[in-house]
Structure 1
């Protein structure tokens, strides 16, 4: 039975309950909290009524969320993972990073960012000896008028060729992450690893959910950036590898067309931009020009 097939008496009974629950928050002292809770109730009740949720389905959802809580630890946040695969994380990011001229689009932070990543000089290698193909990354940091932003802090982090981040190991190793600063012309460059696809943690309830709906747990290969500069909105974003098969099915909906870049492949022996000797190893290069929005652009 659909909601439209219910009797007028039944619909009125259901609406009365919704109205009563919403009214129970009328005296919430914090107006924003009142708005959040009342809107949540309105949409949650509408969902239950629209799909005619059965008690068995309700119990299954409660059991699922209980399992999500049980597997969550200090280093594994299954609730964030659930938010990611439902697209809620990306939608929240979209709402909080409004489009402004040609400012670079934001995407998910992900669970593997850590503070106090090692500092590297321009041109250094962030790979830390991890397995993977070398990749030269260069670009600029500018404002929406095209002016260079010197001394912008650029945090970068990525997985190795086996799809693992350093903090997924328990031996304290550090690789694939660093921070550096743009030069006086707003330019930056460094060596990294060519990004490769990897699955999000799929051995828990969220992984079972993806399996049940025939969705892949794989993320499109990417390199993370967080860019900060005084007077500008903090940018959290990735760049993705053009042509990869996972771009259209990225498990957390993080891909944006503007963030897909050409990672040009070079055979072993090709000269590198900085003269680094890689012997017979293949390598790639990519350019990512970053544009930051002003911090308070609505009042600018």
Structure 2
């Protein structure tokens, strides 16, 4: 007997059932010292908001460690899960409350710039797309991943400082398309 793989399908109408949860956007609890909001929108190729997308984030804690059994540095001392999930609203907007991530060593032992890994799920996508959020007011000069992106496109990976944190918009296609990575 030969089994065939299930064909890929775009994200369907049941994406929102069971995936989001009430505290999904809160990587840290409200009121955590040093917490910042990362807010933004998800837009299609025509610049229209995508009201049924999902943003997932994964990041290091402020000391550069991960709340994961494989991280030899151990569990963070603060309440910090490192993972966030937020569906977009009717205007395509999302929000994540977190702490700025620390510097994580790369494979060569050098430090990666502070960043947050982001997965985007949306209608019309067969697979998630993956990008990174870097911060415009942090030192990004020595990050090998960011340096691998053509200079004229790096700004699509930079979150802009605003009143209560940062703004990071995701453009799925077209002018100003966000840089996505193959993982």
TM-score (norm 1): 0.41
Question: If you compute each CA radius of gyration, which structure gives the higher value, 1 or 2?
Answer: 1
Within-5 A mapping of 1:1-300? 119-120=21-22, 124-127=25-28, 133-167=34-68, 168=71, 169=74, 175-200=81-106, 210=108, 217-232=110-125, 234-245=128-139, 247-251=140-144, 253-254=145-146, 256=149, 257=154, 258-264=156-162, 285-293=165-173
* 8 Å Cα contact 1:127/1:177 also seen in 2: no
> Structure 1 residues 225 and 182, CA, compared in 2 at 3 Å: closer, same or farther?
same
Runs of 4+ in 1 over 6 A off after TM superposition: none
C-alpha separation between the residues in 2 aligned to 1:165 and 1:119? 21
Note the C-alpha offset of 1:132. 6.9
**Unmatched 5+ stretches in structure 1:** 1-115, 201-205, 211-215, 267-271, 273-284, 295-300
Q: Report the RMSD for the aligned CA atoms in angstroms.
A: 3.2
Q: How many pairs are equivalent?
A: 143
C-alpha displacement at 1:134, in angstroms?
0.8
CA distance in 2, matches of 1:217, 1:117: 36
Q: Distance in 1 between matches of 2:111 and 2:19?
A: 26
SS state of the match for residue 159, structure 1?
Answer: coil
Residue 3 of structure 2 is matched in structure 1 by: none
Deviation string for 1:233-280 (max 9, x for gaps)? 6320111122433x22214x245422123335x7xxxxx5xxxxxxxx
Q: Of the two structures, which has the highest relative contact order with CA contacts closer than 8 Å and spacing of 6 or more?
A: 2
Kept in 2: contact 1:227–1:236 (CA 8 A): yes
Structure 2 gap segments, 5+ residues each: 1-17, 175-183
Going from structure 1 to structure 2, the CA distance change for 1:118 and 1:127 (only over 3 Å counts) comes to farther
2:98 is paired with a residue whose SS is strand
TM (norm. structure 2) is 0.64
Asked if structure 1 preserves the Cα contact closer than 8 Å seen for 2:104 and 2:113, the reply is yes
- Displacement of 1:224 in angstroms is 1.5
